[in-house]
Each structure stands twice: as C-alpha cells, then as structure tokens.
Structure 1
C-alpha cells in the first residue's frame, strides 16, 4: 500500500473512482491548471478541461478570466476555443479591463477581430474610464484604433481625467489619428 504525504496533491482532493487524472488534484489545483492552459495557449488542454465541466468564465487571481489571459498573450486558437465554448467577451478583471482592452493595448488585430465577431462591446471602460479605443491611441496602435472606430467605438467617451480619444491622439502628436478621429466624430454628430 502506498502512503500519501500531506504535501501530495492527492491527499487534499477527492479520490473519485473512474474520474480520471483530475481526481488526484484539489479543485483549486485544477482551476490553476486550467487558467495556466489559457495563459499558455494550450487549446487542446483547454478543450479537455471544458469537456470535463470547467467554467469558461472562471475567475482567477486579479479577476482574470481564461479569455482575458489567452487574448492578452496572443493565443488565437485558445481564444477561439474559449469563445466557441461559451466564454463571455466583456467580463472585466479587477481593474475593469476586458479582453478587448488588453488586445487593443497590445495591438493583436486577429484576436480583436475574433472578440468583436463574438459580440465584444467596443466602449467598455475600465476602472479609470479608459476604453479599448483609448488604449489603442495611447500605445500608438493606429490600425487597432481604426478597427475599433469602424466597429462603432465612440471617440467622445471620457476617462477619469476628462480626456477622450481625440485628446489622447493630440497628446501623442499623431496627426493621422487625430484626423481620423475628427472625421469619425463628425460622422456621429
């Protein structure tokens, strides 16, 4: 007979006969493995976890969801898997950021397209009032800003400092983006 130490994960979780390899782990350990699979972009492993009943909208540390982590780390296949399996694109982390805000900051265009096609809202502000469009402007992601504007992002939303996307583009000295935002703004008025 094998002795199981108190440090061994098997001693902390239920040993359900026939439940497979995951029965050797606690729920917290299984959730950590699931979240890590999203962070690392392991789409096949994510599918296995989802097949076993994991919630695609699980909240991890700092409120991160698997979709936020996969998106932020540019894992297209993992993002696709999560969206097809019920991940909600507009869930926010503890600072109010959505998956779209993360990819707007990083400039990951293919994932932005995927999130928008899945119904992500373009103007969800974070805790300080910044929208994905503002992040795209602030970090010089002109193509992303164009995509978000085309998808209906409002250039008039203001953050906690009272700034909007046009103000931010002007601060950056980005004349092309300033012109584009002014054109978009005129079209909405």
Structure 2
C-alpha cells in the first residue's frame, strides 16, 4: 500500500466517521494535517460531517485544530458553525485556537454562527472571548451579518449576549 493510498484512506475515514481507522492509518504513515485534493484536512472533514468521535480521535492524536482550509481559509470551528454541530464546536473550542481567527474574507466563527442562526455556538464563542466588534472585509460585524440575513433576533442576541 502506497503512502498516497494510506493518506487517502485517512481522508475517507475522517469524512465517514471511521474512528477505528484513525490510529492504524496514522501508524501506517498518514499525515494527520495533510490537505486533500479540495484543500481540507482530516479534522475539517470529520468536523464538517458531524463525526464527534472521529474529531476527538484526531485531536487526541494531535491534529492541528487551528489549520485552515486552503481555498477560503476556514477553520474547522468555522465549518461547524455552518453545519450546526454544537458538540463539535465545544470540543474545538477546547483545542485552544484563536477564537477570533479570520478567513480570507476576514470572517470569524462568530460571524458564521450568527449568519446561520447558531445561538448555542454564538454563546460558546462569546464566552470563549470572541469579539463582536470585529468586521470582515465588507465591514460587517457578527451582528450585521445576522441582520443582513433577515435575522434581527440573532443580531440583537449577538449584541447583548453575555451582557449584564
């Protein structure tokens, strides 16, 4: 079996939630932080596809939770905001990445959670230190992103969450 084949098997295992395959494939030489042909790491694939056990296994094997995808610069944390995977979002926050990390458009996980009406993740991110005042390259904050989606309730929640 070639190293390329072993690497592809790790990408497939991550995307399918085959936690049982992570350790053997890493032992066989797969790179835990490599990019697939679309520019995603195994951790990004597992997180995006909602496989908490696989995310845990990859993180336990020291996957870089902060490594963004190649094309947009989105992190796993940003991806789970899109998908609504609250348990995975909480686990990724424990990994210690910059909660205010930005993608190529200057967007943060808080902006994405706000855009997709992920209240639990908005609260988690704010509690972890996400800054509400950061603006993307279009000048939009997390609150204005929600408002632009027609979600005034989320816009207000972002502005007032965690406030006395």
- TM-score w.r.t. structure 2 length? 0.91
Q: Which of 1 and 2 has greater Rg?
A: 1
- Residues 159 and 185 of structure 1, relative CA distance in 2, 3 Å threshold: farther
**Residue 159 of structure 1: aligned partner:** 136
**Residue 96 of structure 1: aligned partner:** 73
Provide Cα deviations, 1:77-121, integer angstroms capped at 9, x if missing partner.
100000000101110111101000000111101001111111132
Residue in structure 2 matching 1:43, options 10, 19, 23: 19
* Cα RMSD after superposing both structures: 1.8
Q: Structure 2: how far apart are the matches of 1:142 and 1:183?
A: 12
Instruction: Give yes or no for contact 1:129–1:159 (8 Å, CA) kept in 2.
Output: yes
- TM-score w.r.t. structure 1 length? 0.80
Residue 64 (str. 1) matches residue 51 (str. 2): no
* Structure 1: stretches of 5+ with no match in the other structure: 1-24
SS of residue matched to 2:38? helix
Q: Structure 1: how far apart are the matches of 2:96 and 2:15?
A: 22
Offset of residue 160 of structure 1: 1.5
Instruction: Give yes or no for contact 1:155–1:185 (8 Å, CA) kept in 2.
Output: no
* Structure 2: stretches of 5+ with no match in the other structure: none
**Aligned 1:126-145 pairs, distance under 5 A:** 126-145=103-122
**Aligned 1:1-189 pairs, distance under 5 A:** 25-94=1-70, 95-183=72-160
Provide Cα deviations, 1:115-145, integer angstroms capped at 9, x if missing partner.
1111132111111111111111111112211
Aligned residues: 163
Q: Structure 2: how far apart are the matches of 1:178 and 1:60?
A: 36
Instruction: Give yes or no for contact 2:127–2:162 (8 Å, CA) kept in 1.
Output: no
Kindly report structure 1 stretches of 4+ aligned residues shifted beyond 2 Å. Answer: 51-55, 169-187
